[in-house]
């Protein structure tokens, strides 16, 4: 984690230099203060339950792999009525970390230094310095990605205007194009 980054409310640092051969089980069961901090960070009304069950194992020569699941119960405000909307999050968590000086961490870059990504492939490994990674922060990333950005209460629809009653507005470009086509 970079010094200027804020620490995750559910941070769980793992010393990767001392990982057992079979890996290390990590469970993050957020307490009330952590759940309140998660709600604030992610713009939620509340987080009633948050639990991440992870397994941190060695990967390749000096990398680390984190796999598991994050489960949560959250309450958000409906984007239409602002009434509470309850949701359940149940997401797989998977990430690979490599030391920043690793040759594998530099793969995926072309000669110009551009990153090559495969949209359908796995995520690129994250790099770390020192001998610790934050498994809790990784689980929080997957939690955050699973939150519905536009929650709506069941049966509520956004009021729409009838497009037939709206007069289209002609842009300056369209006016010039119309005038030029008339001259031709």
Is 96 part of a structural domain of the chain? yes
Model pLDDT, residue 3? 45
pLDDT in tens, the chain (184 residues): 444 457 899 999 999 888 898 999 999 999 999 999 999 999 999 999 999 999 999 988 788 999 999 999 999 999 988 999 999 999 999 999 988 876 655 555 555 555 555 555 556 778 888 889 999 999 999 999 999 999 988 887 766 655 556 666 667 777 777 777 777 6
Model pLDDT, residue 171: 72
Q: Does any domain span residue 8?
A: no
Within a domain: 5: no
Q: If you search the block for the tokens 């339950």, which residue do you land on?
A: 49
Q: Give the span between the Cα atoms of 155 and 66, in whole angstroms.
A: 39
Tally of domains within the chain: 1
Instruction: Tell me which residue range forms the domain holding 161.
Output: 13-183
Write down the pLDDT at residue 1: 40
pLDDT of residue 65: 94
Q: What is the pLDDT of residue 126?
A: 82
User: Of 45, 57, 41, 56, nearest to 143 (Cα)?
Assistant: 41
DSSP state of 61: T
pLDDT, position 64: 92
Whether 126 is covered by a domain: the verdict is yes
> The pTM is what?
0.74
In a domain, residue 4? The reply is no
Whether residue 97 is contained in a domain is answered as yes
For residue 1, being part of any structural domain is answered with no
Q: Examine residue 6 and state whether it is found in any structural domain, yes or no.
A: no
């Amino acid at each position: 984690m970079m010094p200027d980054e804020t620490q995750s409310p559910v941070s769980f640092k793992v010393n990767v230099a001392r990982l057992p051969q079979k890996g290390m089980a990590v469970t993050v069961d957020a307490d009330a203060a952590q759940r309140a901090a998660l709600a604030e960070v992610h713009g939620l009304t509340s987080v009633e339950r948050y639990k991440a069950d992870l397994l941190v194992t060695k990967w390749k020569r000096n990398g680390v792999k984190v796999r598991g699941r994050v489960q949560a119960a959250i309450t958000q405000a409906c984007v239409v009525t602002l009434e509470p909307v309850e949701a359940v999050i149940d997401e797989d968590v998977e990430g690979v970390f490599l030391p920043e000086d690793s040759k594998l961490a530099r793969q995926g870059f072309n000669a110009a230094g551009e990153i090559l990504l495969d949209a359908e492939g796995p995520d690129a490994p994250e790099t770390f310095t020192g001998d610790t990674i934050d498994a809790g922060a990784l689980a929080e990333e997957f939690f955050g990605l699973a939150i519905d950005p536009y929650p709506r209460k069941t049966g509520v629809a956004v009021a729409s205007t009838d497009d037939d009653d709206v007069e289209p507005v002609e842009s300056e470009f369209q006016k010039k194009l119309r005038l030029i086509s008339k001259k031709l």
